[in-house]
Structure 1
């Protein structure tokens, strides 16, 4: 239904993302139930994905790349723009607006998604949780909830991410939405690894 190139360019999740072809494995479509300061992704959401990667870089560098949200376009090609809507250090309640392309599907046109994310939980060099809607021409995700955790392990830092989507439009085709979400999360992790290890 989708070409690999078109899937790879979709929402790097809410951030709107290696599943570029084929079905998402059942194990990957479930959540680990991770939390950030007691809160996690939407437990009732039908669209969910989780993924992990080990990055051989200092935790401080990885966390800085992830939390300097206005700098996302510098190391993630799928992020077209990202702008903070408040000032000062990133903290619970901080918001930012960012954009990313979405491919055409059998039921929606190709478009640019406009995402407004609000940080719900933050623990320095440990975890992040944000949420918000994503809207494009003919496409809407009512609520994306995105969790990140960072754990020092032998050989580097294990970065774990989970995301859920809710909304009538994306829930009309759970398999395709999950596939697109998974592709975006996997791409985000690869880009974060490349950026952190090359600095």
Structure 2
């Protein structure tokens, strides 16, 4: 990854899931940012106005919050990552892809830092853990259709 998660952040979470779909399909679904609201239950808007590439900026809304994110890693069918900011918090979000036993295996990790994650660590940790798992399950469901 071009930017690793912040190991010293007050809030960090990881998750992993096995998806019974080709890695090409899973990659296409995850990296089609403008389509996120069609399969991610928490995302209501997403807008990438340029090609998927390192440095590209996109805006999106999830869970009632607005985010501005910048892609830091695009390694097709291997790694995808971005940083993001919202009021009082910033995040580093990384996805890794592998192919094992005929299935796509996705690992995701995220760190949250800033005044709100520091002040309300337990609240943010609980929500991040839940959000990571929900993202993985949504991606699995969309990919296995």
Using the size of structure 2 for normalisation, the TM-score is 0.95
Correspondence for 2:79: 127
Residue 46 of structure 1 contacts residue 171 of structure 1 at CA under 8 Å; is this kept in 2? yes
SS at 1:149's partner residue? strand
SS at 2:137's partner residue? helix
SS at 2:27's partner residue? helix
Correspondence for 2:115: 168
Gaps of 5+ in 2: none
CA distance in 2, matches of 1:53, 1:155: 14
CA distance in 2, matches of 1:97, 1:69: 10
Larger radius of gyration: 1
When structure 1 is superposed on structure 2, of 122-131 and 168-177 the one drifting more is 168-177
The structure where strand makes up a greater share of residues is 2
Question: Which string of whole-angstrom CA distances, capped at 9 and with x for unpartnered residues, describes residues 35-90 of structure 1?
Answer: x25x3111221210000000000100000111100000011121001011x323x0
CA distance in 2, matches of 1:191, 1:167: 27
* Aligned counterpart in structure 2 of residue 69 of structure 1, from 16, 33, 37: 33
Residue 40 of structure 1 contacts residue 129 of structure 1 at CA under 8 Å; is this kept in 2? no
CA distance in 2, matches of 1:60, 1:185: 21
* Aligned counterpart in structure 1 of residue 10 of structure 2, from 38, 46, 50: 46
How far off its partner does 1:174 sit?
Answer: 1.4
CA distance in 2, matches of 1:158, 1:168: 34
Question: Which string of whole-angstrom CA distances, capped at 9 and with x for unpartnered residues, describes residues 103-157 of structure 1?
Answer: xxxxxxxxx200011001110100011002023xxxx31x100000000000301
* Aligned counterpart in structure 2 of residue 149 of structure 1, from 84, 96, 99: 96
Using the size of structure 1 for normalisation, the TM-score is 0.70
Correspondence for 2:105: 158
Which of structure 1's runs of 4+ aligned residues deviate more than 4 A?
none
CA distance in 2, matches of 1:191, 1:100: 14
Correspondence for 1:12: none
1:177 counterpart = 2:139: no
CA distance in 2, matches of 1:43, 1:167: 14
Residue 68 of structure 2 contacts residue 85 of structure 2 at CA under 8 Å; is this kept in 1? yes
Gaps of 5+ in 1: 1-35, 102-111
